[in-house]
A and B are shown apart, each in its own frame.
Chain A
Amino acid sequence: MPKLVSHPDEVKIVTRRFGQGAANIDKYIELGGYDSAKKCLAQGPDWIINEMKASNLRGRGGAGFPTGMKWSFVPKQSPKAKYVLVNGDESEPGTCKDHLIFLHDPHAVIEGTIIAGLAIGSKLGFIYLRGEYRYLLEIMEKAVADAYAKGFLGKNIFGSDTEFQIITQSGAGAYEVGEESALMESLEGKRGVPRIKPPFPAVVGLYGGPTVINNAETIATVPHVIAMGGEAYAAVGSPRNGGTRLFGVSGHVERPGVYELPMGYNLKKIVYDVAGGVRGGRKLKAVVPGGSSTPVLLPEEIESLGMDFDQVGKAGSMLGSGGVVVIDDQTCIVEFALRTISFYQHESCGWCIPCREGTDWLKKSLTRFHAGFGTAKDIDNIQYLAENMMGRTFCPLGDAAAMPTLGFVKKFRKEFEDHLNGKLCPFAKHTELAVV
Chain B
Amino acid sequence: MADVTITVDGKKLTAPAGALLIDVCRKAGIEIPAFCYYPGLSLQAACRMCVVRQEKVPKLQTACTTTVAEGQVFITDSPEITQARKATIELLLGNHPLDCPVCDAGGECELQDMTFKYGAGESLYAEAKQHREEQQWSPAVFYDRPRCILCYRCIRMCGEGMDVWALGVQNRGASAVIAPNGGDRLDCEQCGMCIDVCPVGALTSGSYRYKTRPWEMNHVSTVCTHCADGCKVTLGVRQSNDGSAIVRADNRDKSGINGDFLCAKGRFGFDFVENPERLSKPLVRNAAGKLEPATWEHALRVAAARLKEVRDSRGGSAIGVIGSNVTTNEENYLLQKFARAVLQTNNIDHERTTDYSAFAHALAGHTGRSASLREIAAAPAILLIGGNPTEEHPLLAWELRTNVRLNRARLYIANTAEIKLERQAKAVLRLSANGYTHLPAYLGGSDAAIANTAFREALLAEESLVVIFGQEYRGAPVEELVQWGVNRPNVRFAFLGDLANSRGAADMGLLPSLLPGYVPVTTPGAFAAEYSGMPTAPGKTHPEMLAAAANGQLGALFIVGANPVSSLRSDPAQLKGTFVIVQDIFLTETAALADVVFPAASLYEKTGTITNTYGDVQLVKKGADRAGTKPDFEILVRLAGAMGVDVKALVPFGKTGMTADLGQSRGAQAGEADRHAVWLAARGLEPKLSPFDPLAALDEIERLVPAYKLDRPNLFGGNDATTDPGFVPVSALSGPDLVTPTHNGLFTSGTLGYYSDSLKDLQRHQTPARAETAAD
A residues apposed to B, CB below 8 Å: 174, 176, 191, 196, 345-354, 356-361, 364-365, 368, 375, 378, 381, 384-385, 388, 391-394, 435-436
The smallest beta-carbon distance between B37 and chain A, in angstroms, is: 12
Contact of B48 among A196, A352, A359 (CB under 8 A): A352
A388 touches B172 (CB 8 A): no
Question: Is the C-beta of B313 less than 8 angstroms from some C-beta in chain A?
Answer: no
Q: Count how many pairs of residues, one from A and one from B, have CB atoms less than 8 Å apart in the complex.
A: 98
Residues of B within 8 A of A381 (CB): 124
The answer to whether A391 and B173 touch across the interface, beta carbons within 8 angstroms, is no
**With a CB–CB cut-off of 8 A, which chain A residues contact B87?**
354, 384-385, 388, 392
Interface centre among B92, B150, B172 (most CB of A within 10 A): B172
CB distance from A206 to the nearest CB of B (A): 19
Give the contact-size bracket for chain B: 35 or more
Q: Which residues of A contact B91 (CB under 8 A)?
A: 353-354, 357-358, 361, 385, 388
B211 at the interface (CB under 8 A from A): no
From residue 135 to 174 of chain B, which have CB atoms closer than 8 A to chain A?
149-150, 169, 171-174
Residues of B at the A interface (CB closer than 8 Å) are: 35, 43-49, 51, 58-60, 65, 83-84, 87-88, 90-92, 94-95, 124-127, 149-150, 169, 171-176
The contact of B46 among A174, A191, A351, A364, by CB within 8 Å, is A351
Given contacts A361-B91, A384-B124, contact A352 B174 (CB under 8 A): no
CB <8 Å contact, B171 and A350: yes
Listed by A's residue number, 5 A-B pairs whose Cβ atoms lie within 8 Å are: A353-B49, A357-B94, A361-B127, A381-B124, A384-B87
Q: With A365-B127, A368-B127, A392-B88 as known contacts, state yes or no: A357 contacts B174, CB within 8 Å.
A: yes
Once the chains bind, are A394 and B59 in contact (CB under 8 Å)? no
Q: For residue B124, which residue of chain A has the nearest CB?
A: A381
Instruction: With both chains docked as a complex, state the minimum distance between the C-beta of A31 and any C-beta of chain B, in angstroms.
Output: 42
- Report Cα–Cα, A392/B81, bound state, in Å: 11
> A384: which B residues are within 8 A, CB to CB?
87, 124
A391 to B58, CA, bound (A): 9
CB of A248, distance to nearest CB on chain B (Å)? 26
Contacts A356-B150, A384-B124 given; indicate if A392 touches B173 (C-beta within 8 A): no
A196-B45 CB under 8 A given contacts A353-B91, A368-B127, A391-B59: yes
Task: Give CA–CA (A346, B175) in the complex, Å.
Answer: 9
CA distance A176 to B176 in the complex (A): 14
Bound-complex Cα distance A293 to B422 (A): 49
Give the residue name and chain of the A residue nearest to B177 (CB). Answer: A350
Q: Chain A residues near B59: list those with CB within 8 A.
A: 391
B48 and A353 form a contact (CB under 8 A): yes
Contacts A350-B150, A364-B127 aside, 5 further interface pairs with beta carbons under 8 A come to A352-B47, A357-B92, A385-B87, A392-B84, A392-B87
Most A CB atoms within 10 A — which of B59, B60, B91, B150?
B91
Contacts of A349 in B (CB 8 A): 172-173
Verify B48–A393 contact, CB threshold 8 A: yes
* CB-defined contacts of B95 to chain A, threshold 8 Å: 357, 360
Q: Which residues of A contact B92 (CB under 8 A)?
A: 353, 357
- For B60, list chain A residues within 8 Å (CB): 391-392
Please name all residues of chain B whose beta carbon is closer than 8 Å to the beta carbon of A345 when the two chains form the complex: 173-174
| CA A191 to CA B173, docked complex, whole Å | 12
B127 contact set on A, CB distance < 8 A = 361, 364-365, 368, 435-436
A191 to chain B, nearest CB (A): 7
By the criterion CB–CB under 8 Å, are A352 and B51 in contact?
no
Judge whether B46 and A352 touch: CB under 8 Å.
yes
The answer to whether A353 and B172 touch (CB under 8 A), given A364-B127, A391-B60, is no
Q: Are A191 and B172 neighbours in the complex by a CB distance under 8 Å?
A: yes
A368 touches B174 (CB 8 A): no
* A191–B43 CB distance below 8 A: no
The distance in angstroms between the C-alpha atoms of A350 and B47, with both chains bound, is: 11
Nearest A residue to B130 via CB reads: A360
Residues in A neighbouring B51, C-beta threshold 8 A: 392
Complex interface: chain B residues within 8 A of A174 (CB): 172
Please provide the 7 A-B residue pairs with the shortest distance between their CB atoms, ordered closest to farther.
A350-B176, A388-B87, A360-B174, A357-B91, A348-B173, A364-B127, A350-B173
- Chain A nearest CB, measured from B774 CB (Å): 29
List the A residue with the shortest CB-CB distance to B42. Answer: A196
